[in-house]
Amino acid sequence: MTTLFYTGCSLDGFIADPDHDLSWLVSRDIDMGSAMGFETVQPRLGAAVMGASTWQWLVDHGEEAAVGGMPTWVLTHRDFAPADGVRFVAADTLDDVRSLHAEAVEAAGGKDLWLVGGGALVARFVEAGLVDELWVQLAPVTLGAGAPLLPARVELQLEEVVRNGDFVCTRYTVLGPGSAPVG
Ligand SMILES: NC(=O)c1ccc[n+]([C@@H]2O[C@H](COP(=O)([O-])OP(=O)(O)OC[C@H]3O[C@@H](n4cnc5c(N)ncnc54)[C@H](OP(=O)(O)O)[C@@H]3O)[C@@H](O)[C@H]2O)c1
């Protein structure tokens, strides 16, 4: 099974604007059922992990079904209203991240584990050596500021690129945390 981060992103590397608005993303044209669209990928996914702001966005927009009823972990220190199939936990240390990952992989039952975001959460999973792939759909817009895609240096290998509607859809293998440039 694969642990993957699948996300839309602005051309300048933000997955939400500073107000957690995604209208710049959801208003763009993409065929979800076509190459690298979410409906194509969704059948592979068996469990989901996300941060508190991402869950809050889903709740605020009545989009909790985006996780399709799969076992879901929301990493948080906040108190959220209970939701079916959703566990609210903190993962403050790398050991916490590793044990949560093991639990989620088991719950995924042989399917892939979907890291929904945000970027800092995914960076922690990369630091723990637990992320295999990055799937990024680049929208034709720059935001100037917002929630970063992946606020860490990570070495990647480009595996796949397709155009789908307004988006450049990319898939990368995660080689590992990067090191500082020499000199
Ligand atoms: N473009 C896309 O396709 C896409 C995909 C995903 C998300 N998004 C959007 O991007 C934005 C992401 O927001 P964000 O950058 O704030 O990231 P986030 O991961 O959604 O939320 C960050 C918060 O989650 C909690 N958290 C994260 N990691 C944790 C850990 N290991 N243990 C315990 N709590 C943890 C912390 O909040 P507390 O300590 O306060 O609980 C942290 O402040 C959201 O607006 C979301 O809707 C967009």
49 closest CA partner among 81, 16, 86, 23:
86
Distance 181 CA to ligand 1 centre (A): 28
Q: Is any atom of ligand 1 closer than 6 Å to the C-beta of 146? A: no
Count: domains in the chain: 1
Encoded amino acid at 127, one letter:
E
Mutate to test the pocket of ligand 1, among 42, 76, 116 (most ligand atoms within 8 A of CB): 76
Residue 178 is predicted with a pLDDT of 76
Is residue 183 domain-resident?
no
Give the pair of three-digit tokens for residue 44.
């592979």
Which CATH number characterizes residue 122's domain?
3.40.430.10
In a domain, 10, yes or no: yes
CA of 157 to the centre of ligand 1 (A): 25
Q: pLDDT per residue over 4-13, tens digit each?
A: 999 999 999 9
Looking at the domain assignment, is residue 40 inside a domain?
A: no
Query: pLDDT confidence of 183, banded at 50, 70, 90?
Result: very low
111 assigned to some structural domain: yes
In the predicted model, what is the mean pLDDT of residues 65-77? 93
- Could you tell me the two tokens for 76? 């948080």
pLDDT for the residue 181: 55
What is the chain's mean pLDDT, rounded? 95
Task: Label residue 68 by pLDDT band (50, 70, 90).
Answer: confident
β-pair type (154-164, 167-177) = antiparallel
User: Is the CB of 8 inside a 6 Å radius of any atom of ligand 1?
Assistant: yes
Q: What is the number of the ligand 1 atom nearest to the C-alpha of 16?
A: 10
Q: Does residue 182 belong to any structural domain of this protein?
A: no
CA pair distance 105, 83, nearest whole angstrom: 20
Q: Is 90 in the pocket of ligand 1 (CB under 6 A)?
A: yes
Number of alpha helices (DSSP H) and beta strands (DSSP E) in the chain:
5, 10
Residue 160 falls within a domain, yes or no? no
Nearest to 22 by CA among 68, 57, 48: 57
**pLDDT at residue 180 tops 80:** no
Residue 50's contacts (CB-CB under 8 Å, 6 or more residues apart) are 72, 73, 74, 75, 115, 116, 117, 118, 121
In this structure, the residue with its CA closest to atom 12 of ligand 1 is 118
Is there an atom of ligand 1 within 6 Å of 25 CB? yes
Q: Determine the pLDDT at residue 182.
A: 53
Position 179 scores a pLDDT of 67
**180 in any annotated domain:** no
In a domain, 72, yes or no: yes
Ligand 1 atom showing the smallest separation from residue 9 Cα: 1
Domain residues for 127?
Answer: 3-29+45-154
